[in-house]
Amino acid sequence: MLHHIPLLRSNVINLVATHRPCQLLSFPFFTVPIEMVLIQFYYYIVNDLLAFIRVPMSFFSRKMDYALLVLSHLHGNPDGSSAREISAKFSISRPFLANIMKTLCHHGYLSSHRGVHGGYVLIRKPKDITLADIMQSLDEPFHLTDCSKDIEKQTCSARTFCPIRTGMSGVHDRIRTILKDVTLAEILDPTIRPSVTLQFGLELVSHGTNK
């Protein structure tokens, strides 16, 4: 589909430059040149499509990304940090950060202290925190595809006859194994225990044994 977009761009420009006389489209309350309709189509539809395709899809949600930043920051600051400091350092809005901190405290990752010198402290060891733990705590369990969700949450119209459903289910399980195995400690220091790696072709290769 992408190779048609430059042609569409060229056709729109040529039409605007050479089309005489101008054709009109009539609507209930107004009439507009057809060129304007095409220009609007290009800039509002095609550009949006290009933006969507060019933006890389993130494996983790923004909430998960920030939770990892918070946990890593507090690990490096054992005396604790205030929400204001964390918000300023990572440019996270205070309300959004407050929601993340509340969740992490509720699930026992952090401890909060009120007062002038209050703040947050990491109270769980990084080696005991897995990526799957954090995602589950944030109520964002991993789902590679729609059909890997609970059946009542599935929305894919092809789920009853999808030819790749079984294969993708296997890929989903293998990636979930990684999320359950990789700890925050490994992210902070990848040399600690590089237990599993997702290589090209989605092949799991063991690089060590659990300690």
The CATH number assigned to the domain holding 97 equals 1.10.10.10
pLDDT of residue 175: 81
Residue 211 lies in a domain: no
Phi, psi of 203, deg, nearest 5: -105, 130
| 203: three-class secondary structure by DSSP | strand
Residues 158 and 185 in one domain: yes
- Helix (H) / strand (E) element for 119: namely strand 119-122
Say if residues 156 and 142 touch (Cβ distance below 8 Å): no
Question: What residues make up the domain containing 137?
Answer: 62-206
Structure tokens at 176: 């979930």
pLDDT, one tens digit per residue, over 39-75 is 555 445 445 544 444 444 456 788 999 999 999 999 9
Residues 100 and 200 in one domain: yes
Residues 146 and 98 in one domain: yes
pLDDT of residue 150: 60
pLDDT, one tens digit per residue, over 86-105 is 999 999 999 999 999 999 99
Say if residues 94 and 102 touch (Cβ distance below 8 Å): no
Structure tokens at 102: 């509340």
Residues 93 and 190 in one domain: yes
Phi, psi of 119, deg, nearest 5: 170, -160
- Helix (H) / strand (E) element for 26: namely strand 24-26
pLDDT of residue 105: 96
Residues 44 and 67 in one domain: no
> For the CA atoms of the chain, what is the radius of gyration?
25
Residues 93 and 140 in one domain: yes
pLDDT of residue 205: 40
Mean pLDDT of the chain: 71
Say if residues 187 and 68 touch (Cβ distance below 8 Å): yes
Kindly report the number of other CB atoms within 10 A of residue 102's CB atom: 12
pLDDT, one tens digit per residue, over 112-156 is 987 666 789 999 999 999 999 999 899 777 776 666 666 556 666
pLDDT of residue 148: 65
pLDDT, one tens digit per residue, over 171-195 is 778 888 888 888 999 888 877 765 5
pLDDT, one tens digit per residue, over 2-47 is 444 444 444 444 444 444 444 444 444 444 455 455 555 544 544 5
Phi, psi of 69, deg, nearest 5: -65, -45
